[in-house]
Structures are given as structure tokens and as C-alpha cells.
A and B are shown apart, each in its own frame.
Chain A
Amino acid sequence: MAITREQVLHVARLARLDLGEDEIARLQEELSAILEAVSKVSELDLADVPPTSHPLDLVNVTRSDESRPCLPLDAVFANAPEREGDSFRTAPTA
């Protein structure tokens, strides 16, 4: 299950990781080996088996729709790299 350099770059872009050249080469090798190992799951014929997304039998857990106090804004922004007024400031999107 070898994956190509192009696939590594594609996935890195989906994952928003700006990988270095050395990382790209190493991940290509490592991911190929790991994917080969995990591909073992395809050996089983489980066409009739439903998927499990969660180990408990819980369905539609809700709580009463009551308003509660939320964090004060200064706490919300306490860890922000950059704040402008009541907003998180980032680099421009375009």
C-alpha cells in the first residue's frame, strides 16, 4: 500500500500542515507502512454488520433548554494570540 508524494502533499493540504521536505519524505514512507498494516481490516467480510461509532447505547441525549451564564469575554480572550475589541484577529483570508 505505497502512497505517492502527491498523495502526501494532498493530505497535508487537507490537514492544513505546512510540512518540510524531510517530513514529506519520511511521512511517505511511514504512512505507506502503517496503511499496509491497517489495511488488514479489509480482509473481513462484514457487509451485514452495522458500524459502531460509539460504544454506548445512548440515543438523543438532551438537556433542558435553559439559559446559563457563559464565560466573561475577558476569559474567552485570555488565551487569544491576538484580540481586537470583541473579536479574534487573524491574518487576512485573502
Chain B
Amino acid sequence: MIDTLRLTAEEARGLLERGEVSARELFDAYRAVEDDLNCYLLRLDEGEGAGVPIALKDVIGTKGIRTTAGSKILESYVPVYDSTVAARVKVAGLPVLGKTNLDEFAMGSSTENSAFGPTRNPWDPERVPGGSGGGSAAAVSAGLAPWALGSDTGGSIKQPSSLCGNVGLRPTYGTVSRYGIVAFASSLDQVGPVTKTVRDCALLYSIIAGRDACDSTTVEVPDVELPSAQDLNGVRIGVPTEMNDHPGIEPGVRALVHKSIELARELGAEVEECSLPLSVDYGLACYYLIAPAEASSNLARYDGVRYGLRVGADTYYEMVERTRDAGFGDEPKRRIMLGTYALSAGYYEAYYGQAQKVRTAIAREHAQAFERFDVLVSPTSPTVAFRLGEKAADPLAMYLSDLLTIPSNMAGLPGLNIPCGLSEGLPVGLQLIGAQLSENTLFRAGHALERAIGFDTVPERLR
């Protein structure tokens, strides 16, 4: 009997290597778990490969397998080529369990913006799993997949992992190819792992990372080291006050993060407070100009001509306008409108141009901090999982969910979420931020802390 709720990907790999289960039996064990949380948009009956099966967020293009990005406009889109990450997963022999639910075009923080209905949080089905990658995060916590891939623009891997109580890595910008990924904001989008443990996260990262001739923004990636150290001796940890004392952070979240920081000190880390004065105050505003601007440009391709939905009309422009009105949901429309406005004549310098300068200031501030520290820590999400519908009617309240994940994303830095306890019965996530290409440092720190915290990733109601 395979306990899909508890089995880590590393343990699953051990079972396969020792011949204790077959890849088919392993696949079927996950396939047999009922998806009563709407984690998947599509589940496959069988997969290719002899390895540990995996779930893919439905922005990841898969040849011959429907890829919708959670949007009506791509409802019947079947890619004719594999994204590079899907190809790498295939080469590694990981059978694909299915495609996971998400906020439409990865725009959102709750998965409620999916055109195919929300995903629910495995810890409390009346609450959201976070977003945009709520499907991947919920699937891993609910025993529907041993591990999964997500994509993160403003926090879409880290924040759902925080709300669902598992491990999520947003890698350094440029380490994982975006070829074949449905684009949202190209200077920010990054694919990364969602797993139960930091070691699983490092394993999966080693499979997907690396330079790709099909994505000219990719870079050479240092060899991944599977973490084993149990101490944090010599690790310098910075605690940015603005990211830990922000009034929007719930007291329960603050207390658990504080406790983890004390634990890091006990494990041998040198811990000191520091400051990122501009990053938190201006990060969100900067992001909500740059990301929608890039989205408005990326989503211009959905015109009903080459692929995707078409709504017929007598003239070309009527066809394009009706197709886009019928195919896009409220959030993509909002962001297309916002981005188009910010890029339009007369407003470009004041909005987009100024936001790009703020972005430089944020990157400089982080670079300065990393002269003194190896890792910066904060809560990943200012709150635990909120109720379905609670923020759906107020876009600005929803945007605040990413307050603490956005600043480092603007600077292209890697960020790791690990669960650090329960507040009111719901998971709280600790965010570890590193310098560019310092994933191995994050894995080391994350692994040691994860071990010391001893969080049980299985949702209480499913134990």
C-alpha cells in the first residue's frame, strides 16, 4: 500500500530503484486518489517513463496534451511541441499525472480566477490554496502528486506553497527555460518545483534547470548539491525589518517566523536585522505596473487567428475584439487594460519608465544586503489561507497577498518557501531569499531548518 500523502519523491525513487513497486503501480496509486479539491484540469490515465510521476501546472506546454492556462481562450488548445521543461521531465523518465489548475494566465493569488472553477485548500476546503499555482500546491499536499512544477511571476509558486504547507522554489531568473510556457510577464516568469521536502525540491530543480538554446534568457547553472547538513554554522542570515514587522502580517504568522529565526540561531547561523526600505514600500506598485505592461503585450497574441478561441464576425477587427472579450476572464482583462494604459502615449514615462527605475533601486538594495548576508528571511505570505470569495471582489486586497514575495522577484532572486508551523490550524510559510544563483545555499538552509522545525506536511484533516 503506497501512502501518497506521506511518501516523498525521494522515497518513491528508492522504492522504484529497489524494485519494491513498479512505475505503473506508483502512477496508479496517485491516479486512484480522488480529486475532490479540483487540483487537476486534466488527469492522464497513463504516463511515459519509469520514474517518479509528476504534475505540471497548466501553463507548461505539453505536446499532444491539452494546455489551457486556466483560460477559455485556450480551452481546446493542444500544443504541437513540448516546452523545454516538459521535455526535460520526459528525458528524466517522470510520467506526467496531469495538468494542474491555476488562476487564468497565472494572474492571481487564490486560483479563484481559473475559468474552470477554483481549487480548494487541502487543510480547509472552505479556503483558497493560494495562487496562481494553487492546483500544483494543493495536489502535492493532498497526496495527488509526489511533486509538481509551478511557475512564479509575483509569487505563484512560493505563496501557494506557503498556504498549502509544502516546499516551493522560485529559482533565479534565467535558470529554467521558459520555452513553451504560456507567457505572462517575461522579465519575471520563472518555472520551479513544488515538493514535500527541500531535498525533493533540489532533486527536481536539478532536472529542470540549465541553459537552453531555445530561451536566450537562460544561463549556465551551478551543479545542484543535495543538502544534508543539519546545522547552519557559518550561514549569515539577514532579517529585513520591513518584511518582518509590516502591519499587514498576521500576529500568528509573525510569531512562527520569529520562532524559526530563533531556531536558525540555535542551529549556528549568524542572525542580524537589516533593512530594505524601498523594496517593500514600492515593490507592489512597481510590480503592478511592470507585470501588467508585459502581460498586455504577451496577451496580444490571442487574436483568434492562429490558435485558440475565435468568435466569428464580419470584419477582422470585430473578430479580434469579440474573441478577446469572450475568451479572457475579468483578471486578464483588468491587467491588459492596466498594462495598455501604463504603456500608452503620454503615460509611458510616468508609469512604466518610472517602475523600471524603481526596479533598479530594489535590485541595488538587495545586492547591498547580500554583501553582508547569505540568506534573507521573512514570512512568505502575510496571512494564512483566506476564505474562498473573501478577496475576490477587491483586486487591490488580493494583490497584497504578494507583498513579501514580489520584492526579490523584481530583482531576479531565488526564493524558497518552507512550512514553519500552524496558525489557527493553517500552514505558515517561511521565505528564504538568496543572491542570484545561490540555490544551493537556500537548499542547505532550508533543509537544516525543515529538519529542526519538524513540520508534518500532511493536512490534519487527512491524517
Contacts and interface: CB of A to CB of B under 8 A. Distances in A.
Given A52-B359, A71-B81, A93-B316, 19 more contacts: A14-B340, A15-B324, A16-B317, A27-B333, A27-B334, A37-B396, A38-B288, A40-B285, A41-B282, A41-B351, A41-B358, A44-B354, A49-B361, A55-B410, A62-B216, A71-B80, A76-B80, A78-B80, A82-B310
Interface residues of B, number: 72
Interface stretch (B14-22, B138-146, B299-307, B442-450): B299-307
A64 B350 CA distance: 39
B187 to A, nearest CB: 5
Determine chain A's interface SS by DSSP, over half rule: loop
Interface string A42-62: 111010011111111010011
Interface in A46-94: 46, 49-56, 58, 61-63, 71, 75-76, 78-82, 88, 90-94
A88 B305 contact: yes
Given A19-B325, A50-B357, A91-B315, A56 B334 contact: no
B423 interface: no
A75 B318 CA distance: 27
Contact of B336 (A17, A51, A54, A78): A17
Contact of B333 (A17, A40, A52): A17
Contact of A55 (B187, B285, B351): B187
A55 B396 contact: no
Interface residues of A, number: 54
A92 B313 CA distance: 9
B338 interface: yes
Given A11-B341, A39-B285, A56-B412, A81 B358 contact: no
Interface of A: 3, 7-8, 11-12, 14-20, 23, 27, 30-31, 33-35, 37-44, 46, 49-56, 58, 61-63, 71, 75-76, 78-82, 88, 90-94
Contacts of B321: 16-18
B337 A41 contact: no
A50 B300 CA distance: 28
A3 B412 CA distance: 33
B411 interface: yes
A75 B351 CA distance: 40
Given A49-B360, A52-B363, A41 B334 contact: no
Given A27-B333, A90-B319, A78 B288 contact: no
B108 interface: no
Interface string B60-89: 000000000000000011101100000000
A62 B359 CA distance: 26
